[in-house]
Amino acid sequence: MTEVAAAASARLKTQAAKRPATPDEVAAARNDPKQANILYHDWEAGTYDEKWSISYDERCIQYARDRFEAVAPTDGQPYDHALELGSGTGFFLLNLMQSGLAKRGSVTDISPGMVEVATRNAKNLGLDVDGRVADAESIPYEDETFDLVVGHAVLHHIPDVELSLKECMRVLKPGGRFVFAGEPTKYGDVVARKLSQLTWFATTNVTKLPALSGWRRPQAELDESSRAAELEAVVDLHTFAPDELRALAQRVGAVDVNVVTEELTASWFGWPVRTFECAVPRERLGWNWAMFAYKGWMRLAALDKDVFSKVVPEGLFYNALVTGVKPA
């Protein structure tokens, strides 16, 4: 276990109840991206599924499966043993396992809080999954252990992405595959951040009006969200141009490399919606809002796939997905 992972494990044992990060802790983590990742994701672990509308039902099972199939072929399934790198609460791997993609699973994350939630989620779903606190640059498994390595929205958090992909290749069996989805492109990330900032500014200021005061979250909660956003900016280390991601996968020795991008108008809609949800009291948003947000995103994602992907340069889409195979 690395020094960072060992420190993280000790932190989990001594921290009985998760609490918001203080301003001093946020400031101290600014120059240490690994510590920032532990702090931020431990802080978010208990509410992460709710924040990002993560579930383990047919909606997210199909979403995860679609992300996999968007970039990788469907042969070789089910994989016997799959690893999720930077698993968070287990969203990607657990839903892929429920879709029949893999028989056994292992989840790793630098955040002990996330590993705790992910393994609990797996147990509740009756899935055969173990979990370890781990630095993605030093994966704590033997060579040639896994048939598949996956990750969702994780590579952009890792300081040395190339080293992490080399580790993935090391723990893969010959002929094994890696699939990473949900990675922000250079252009898409700029647009998403601007839209989120504008939405937050507009919502938190409009709800100061007396007539809309019932839509305003308590100031302490808004301050906590602002600190979380500040720390999130620290842990988001990279954005990726599609060609750079292809070259990176090839540089670590992968073959059959493929990179695709997705979400153009869907990201323009989704980021303001998600930011608005974080800026107002959750109880004010009911079923009708949830259906509006979900169906609106689905329709725009389909439009992006069926129409815009054929005419818009790939680098303008928000999400990048990459796959590669370890030579047999």
| Residues in contact with 174: Cβ distance below 8 Å, sequence separation at least 6, in sequence order | 144, 326, 327, 328
Q: For the segment 216-260, what is each residue's pLDDT rounded down to a tens digit? A: 999 999 988 888 787 888 899 999 999 999 999 999 999 999 999
Q: Which two tokens stand for residue 46?
A: 């208990």
155 within 8 A of 148, measured Cβ to Cβ? no
Q: Which of 303, 313, 306, 314 is nearest to 259 (CA)?
A: 314
Give dist(CA 164, CA 135) in Å, integer.
9
Average pLDDT over residues 151-178: 98
**Tell me, what's the pLDDT at 66?**
96
Q: For the segment 101-156, what is each residue's pLDDT rounded down to a tens digit? A: 999 999 999 999 999 999 999 999 999 999 999 999 999 999 999 999 999 999 99
* 98 half-sphere exposure, CB direction, 13 A CA radius: 22
SS3 of residue 285 by DSSP: coil
Predicted model pTM: 0.90
Q: Which of 153, 89, 157, 99 is nearest to 124 (CA)?
A: 89
98 within 8 A of 165, measured Cβ to Cβ? no
CB atoms within 10 A of CB 117: 25
Q: Are strands 255-262 and 172-184 parallel, antiparallel or unpaired?
A: unpaired
Q: Which of 14, 314, 97, 61 is nearest to 187 (CA)?
A: 314
